[in-house]
Structure 1
Amino acid sequence: MKNYLATFTIISATMLLFSCSGGETTDDTTNPTTVSDNLHLAFKTPDWERNIDCTLLDLTPTVYNDSTYGVSATSASTKETFCFTYPKYSSKIVNPKYLKKHKVMSIYDNNVPFQFSQKLPLNENSLDDLSKKLVSSEGFSATEYNQVIEVKYLSSEANYDVFRVKCKYEMKMYLPATPDVIKPVSGTFTFKIRALKG
């Protein structure tokens, strides 16, 4: 666990150089949505909302376990931090069975593909106040999910196949100092990710 946290810290620090400026699964045929093709991460809370341009964000995967890769980064402009996991191998990532809703997790607790977790400031006036950071709660319900809308092959590199993944999500977030303060948060994201060939 310590090695993982050290790796995550290094990756997060690296990603700060960038202004980043869809049981556990179920079908979702009753609530379709359109998610932009543009690389982005959007969030909306009761207090503020942003659509962060992630065009310059070049994500390198971290190994979470034998079957799961993940990516994490922190936005320089909003101090939002995300963690997104997906299948380690490219042959698995394009399986249509994943175009469903998946569980949202407590921040950094992702452990299987297509889970999403995040941490973000309570509002735009608390960007640097560590005591006012909302963190995601683990859950899976009509108002707690990460839905994979699309996975599209983009290109091939030496060791990886590159994909664009589009998701929408809803989650409950809370302040660790006052866990009774719960905020509903929703949004979308489109990331460019890498999976091992095979």
Structure 2
Amino acid sequence: MRFPRHRRPFAYLTLNTRRRRRAAVAALWSAFGAHVAVSALGGDGELAGFGGFVTLLAGLVCMFSLAEASGLRGGSAPLDARRLAARDRAYSAAFHATGWLMLALVVYAELALRIDALWLPSDPRGAVGAFAAVGVAIGLLPVSLIGWAEPDEAPATPPLAPTPPRKPHRYVGTLDDREIQRWLH
């Protein structure tokens, strides 16, 4: 008796090209921005709650499909040198981007405490929401950068070697360069 093979939950959302992965990254950040906007500006109504749920669900689907589609995770097959290098570059970029994001947030918070024109949350709910948005943005950076930078699959068969150029066709009645009439010399 054979049991069916377990399918990953988001396997049907194939992101097998760089273009599709970049579109998924753009959709992920768009859903995140929409969720933050709905949460900050929507208030407490049912429509705002439904909009927040829809944007959160869309972002989760994008994030999990990017994570499942990434060949840079290793999965069941070992990574070759090209994929290892791409994964290391993406992790390095995510690490540096997180550092710059944290520095920008600290500078903004210090300036916002001293300058009244800059926005700061006025109530504890807004402060928790801003803190959660920053935490989610930091968490989305690695999967986004990996999805954005991941190269396309290498072709299964190596490309054929180019064929050398052919010599021009000689007519039968003419002599080839290699043919020398010995009796004329």
Q: TM-score, normalised by structure 1?
A: 0.20
Query: Which structure's CA Rg is the greater one?
Result: 2
- Identify, as 1 or 2, the structure richer in strand: 1
Q: TM-score, normalised by structure 2?
A: 0.21
Higher normalized contact order (CA 8 Å, seq sep 6+, divided by chain length): 2
